[in-house]
Structures are given as C-alpha cells and as structure tokens.
Amino acid sequence: MPSIETGASTISSSISLIKTIIGAGLLSMPLAFSTDGVIFGIIIILIAAITSGYGLFLQAYTSKYVPSGHATFFNLCSASYPALSVVFDIAIAIQCFGCALSYLVLIGDISPTIVTYVPYIDPDYYRTFWILLSTIICVPLAFLHNLDSLKYTSILGLVAIFYMTLLVIGHYFTGDISNDLKGEIVLLPPNLTGIFSTFSIIVFAFTGHQNMFSIINEAKDKSLKSLTTLINFAILLSSLLFIFVGLAGYLTFGNKVAGNVILSYPQAWYNDLGRFCIVFMVIFSFPLMLHPARISINNIYYWLSVNVFHTTQPFVVEPSDNEATALLQESQDNLKTHNIVPFPQHTFIIITTGLLLLAYGLAISIKSFALVLAVVGATGSTAISFILPGLFGYKLIGSESPSPSIKESILKQLSLVLTVWGIIVMILCLYVTLFLSDV
C-alpha cells in the first residue's frame, strides 16, 4: 500500500492543530483562575503547555518509526508495545467519542437560550430540535476523510474563537459589568481543594493529541523541524489565549464567574452572538473528534478480525527504501515489518454512520452524563496526551543505535518523566471526579 501524500501545507496543519486544541475549554479558564488565583493559574497553564507540547513533539519524533503516512496510535503501539495496542485504541475511541457527544449536548443546551421561540415546535422539544438540526452541518463534515478537508471550517471556528476572546477581553476593559455580578479576586489559591477541582480543566484544555498523527500523515513537509515549528506555534498561541481569556473573565467576575464565562454576561445582542459562537464552534469541532474515534474503532475491528475471529490476514508492509523502516531494520529484528491497518470505503461508511446514529441517539436521550464524561476524560485524555507519547518516546528514541546519543538519552528520560506526569494527572483527576466533584 503506498504512503498517503495529501500535501497539507504547514499553515493548514497549524490551523487544524490549533482548532483541535482550542475548544470549549477556553471559556472555562476564568473558572480555573477563580480557584487557583491569578499567579498559580498562570503557572499551571504554563506547566500544562510544556507537558502537552512535549507530548505532541514526541508524536512527531516517533512517527518516523512507522511507514510514512501511516502514523497512528495503533501502529506506534504495535511497534513498541504490541500487547497494549488495542487497549489504548479503546481508550482513544471512548475519549474522542465522548468529546463529540458532549458537543452535541452543548448544542442542545445553549441553542434554546439564543433562539427562545421556534414556530410549530413544543418548547419541551426545543433541545431535541436543535440537536437534530445540527445534522445539516455535522453529518456531511463527518464523512470527510481527511482533516485537511476541514481546514476552511476550522478557519471559521477560529474566527468564532477570536470573537469570543475579544468579547471577554472587551468587557473587562470597558468595565460595563454590574458590581452585583462581581466577586472576590485573589492572587493565590485559598485552598488546595479548589485547585484540584479545576486542575483537569487546564490540563485537558491543551489536548490536541488525538489528531496529531492525522496532521502528520497529511502534512506535505513531514520533517521534524517543520512539525516542531507548527507545534510550538499552536502551543504558544493557545497558551496566550488561555491566559488572556482566563484573566479577563476572572478579573471581570471574580469568584462569581460561571463555568462557561460567556453565560455569565447579561442578555445583549453581542453577548448572544458570543453564545452563538459557542454553538458554531462545537458544530465544527464535532467532526474533528469523530475523525480519531473512527480510526480507533477501525483499528479495534481490524485487531479483532485478525486475533480473535481470524477472518483477516495481517496486512504486512516489508521494509523498503523508506528511511523509517530502514532504521528499524538496522535496530530491531521484531520491528522489521509493519502491520498497516486497511480502511476500505465500505468500512469507513459503516463506522461513520454507526457513530453518528449512536452519538445523536445518546445526545437526545441522555440528559446528564457528566460523571462518565469526566472519568473518560481523566483516563482517555491523559493516556493520549502524556502516557502514550511518553511510552513511545522512551521505547523508540535511539532504538536504531546500540549507543544512543546524549540528546537521545535526554529525550528518552524526559519521555519517562512525561509518562509519570500523566499517571499523576490521571490519579488526581479521577480522585477529584469521584470524591470532590458534585457530578
């Protein structure tokens, strides 16, 4: 099977990564500052930026250890920890599908606050109406094969984010919010419990790792230098937005800020436009989450067909002139061949259709699934952002040489640190969700 050469430009790849990272979590930053304080809130954002950025870098670095154009969590796991490949794909599928599902629920919850009357529709069914209406946009986008195909919708999503950013910062500088809506402002956190309760908001806000391999596969320039440049740009821009929006929203409302800062502002056309931007943003974020979920489910189906039902023979790619496979051939005998997961068109259509039907069915029927979503986020997002990239880096970096260089040794040790960090984050977030949260 030939390598995928879709030729996405660096700008297009950057847009996809930035849009994947900057989602609805941006509007929860002021709440995080309300429990962490100004100083500690900024520190946590910077720590999250560095660790998440290094995870993205490790994905770019280790992508050379599989055939060009076929970098996936499944293939990297197969090359480094074969026994765990299907386990992590299950976690990825659940996490990404859970995020996509949460976007549909958000559409149903916010849309009725923007358009308060719909002719011929019973108010009790407004939520269902708006969720189903989103299919006009979400379904066609969900059937696009490549993230590069979503670059124009991602640009529109970034425009919506830009407007919401200006709205939050503009309200702070104009000072037009009533004092009755304002609370106390602190520089340092009043207690540790508050930090733990919003810790996951900041850490998970930088999660864009689920689409990083797709971005790498579709990139015209797959060099480490080019990929590192787009990662640094995406992380830097995301960090600045998180800090500015977080501070502006917190300094406007103090500890009275809502979980979604846009909902804290009084009724006005420009604030309603901000609420519309939320809906607009999550509609175009939905296919970005469905994309990696679909890939992981196909990987799971393939693994079951090969290892459980024995209905499919492994699709093996022998080492060729490809630089990555050549390196692997020199280094480790067990990595001389690569199992490439086929994704035929009929399977693509079946999985996509199934995901859409399940997502919309659950979004309409389930009213509150915050606990499940929080647990899935604490486990799936942590695995994708920190644990898996760290394990890949620790196992593969320098494996092509019997004596790794000093740089490779440092990267390997930092990879191990990232894995440990991910385990700590997972434990803390699960503890908060299960014992300190009200969900």
Annotate 212-254 with DSSP letters as a single string. Answer: HHHHHHHBS---HHHHHHHHHHHHHHHHHHHHHHHHHHHHHHG
Scanning 117-219, the segments in alpha helix (DSSP H) are 126-133, 135-142, 151-174, 192-205, 212-218
For 266, which DSSP code?
Answer: P
Give the phi and the psi of residue 321 in degrees, each rounded to 5.
-80, -5
> Residue 204 — pLDDT band, cuts 50, 70, 90?
confident
Report yes or no on 208 lying in a domain: yes
Counting residues of the chain whose pLDDT is more than 70, the rounded percentage is: 88
Which one has a higher pLDDT value, 131 or 4?
131
The parent domain of residue 285 ranges over 10-436
Mean pLDDT in residue range 114-120: 88
Report yes or no on 4 lying in a domain: no
Is the pLDDT score of 329 beyond 70? Answer: no
Could you tell me the CATH number of the domain that includes residue 225?
Answer: 1.20.1740.10
> Residue 113 — pLDDT band, cuts 50, 70, 90?
confident
For residue 186 the two structure tokens come to 């602190």
For residue 258 the two structure tokens come to 């809502």
CA–CA dist 273, 107 (Å, integer): 14
Mean pLDDT in residue range 76-81: 84
Mean pLDDT in residue range 409-432: 91
As for how many domains the chain has, the answer is 1
Is the pLDDT score of 328 beyond 70? Answer: no
The answer to whether 355 and 96 are in contact (CB under 8 A) is no
Report yes or no on 3 lying in a domain: no
Give the 3-state secondary structure of residue 170: helix
Report yes or no on 335 lying in a domain: yes
**Digit-coded pLDDT (tens) for 418-427:** 999 999 988 8
Give the 3-state secondary structure of residue 336: coil
pLDDT on residue 327: 43
Is the pLDDT score of 353 beyond 90? Answer: yes
Q: What is the CA radius of gyration of the chain?
A: 22
Q: Which residues contact 280 (CB under 8 A, 6 or more apart)?
A: 156, 157, 160
Inter-CA distances, 259 with 201, 219, 238, Å = 10, 36, 19
Report yes or no on 306 lying in a domain: yes
Is the pLDDT score of 321 beyond 50? Answer: no
CA–CA dist 284, 133 (Å, integer): 14
**Digit-coded pLDDT (tens) for 141-157:** 999 887 777 777 778 88
CA–CA dist 296, 88 (Å, integer): 9
Is the pLDDT score of 7 beyond 90? Answer: no
For residue 309 the two structure tokens come to 């039902």
pLDDT on residue 80: 86
pLDDT on residue 411: 95
pTM: 0.81
pLDDT on residue 332: 42
For residue 237 the two structure tokens come to 């821009």
Is the pLDDT score of 97 beyond 50? Answer: yes
pLDDT on residue 326: 46
Mean pLDDT in residue range 163-171: 92
Question: For 45-59, 160-174, 373-387, which range has the lowest pLDDT when averaged over its residues?
Answer: 373-387
Mean pLDDT in residue range 57-82: 87
pLDDT on residue 313: 67
Report yes or no on 207 lying in a domain: yes
**Digit-coded pLDDT (tens) for 358-371:** 999 999 987 655 55
CA–CA dist 52, 387 (Å, integer): 11
For residue 173 the two structure tokens come to 């500088």
Mean pLDDT in residue range 384-402: 89
Query: Considering only CA atoms, which of 150, 396, 432, 113 is closest in space to residue 291?
Result: 150
**Digit-coded pLDDT (tens) for 20-65:** 888 767 888 898 898 888 999 999 999 999 999 999 999 999 998 8
**Digit-coded pLDDT (tens) for 214-265:** 899 888 888 899 999 999 999 999 999 999 999 999 999 988 888 778 878 8
For 143-148, the CB contacts below 8 A with 24+ separation are 143/349, 143/352, 144/287, 145/348, 146/6, 146/8, 146/214, 146/218, 147/8, 147/16, 147/211, 147/214, 147/215, 147/218, 147/288, 147/291, 148/6, 148/8, 148/12, 148/13, 148/16, 148/218
Report yes or no on 2 lying in a domain: no
Supply the mean pLDDT for the chain. 83
Report yes or no on 1 lying in a domain: no
Mean pLDDT in residue range 56-83: 87
CA–CA dist 285, 351 (Å, integer): 19
**Other C-beta atoms lying within 10 Å of the C-beta of residue 401:** 11
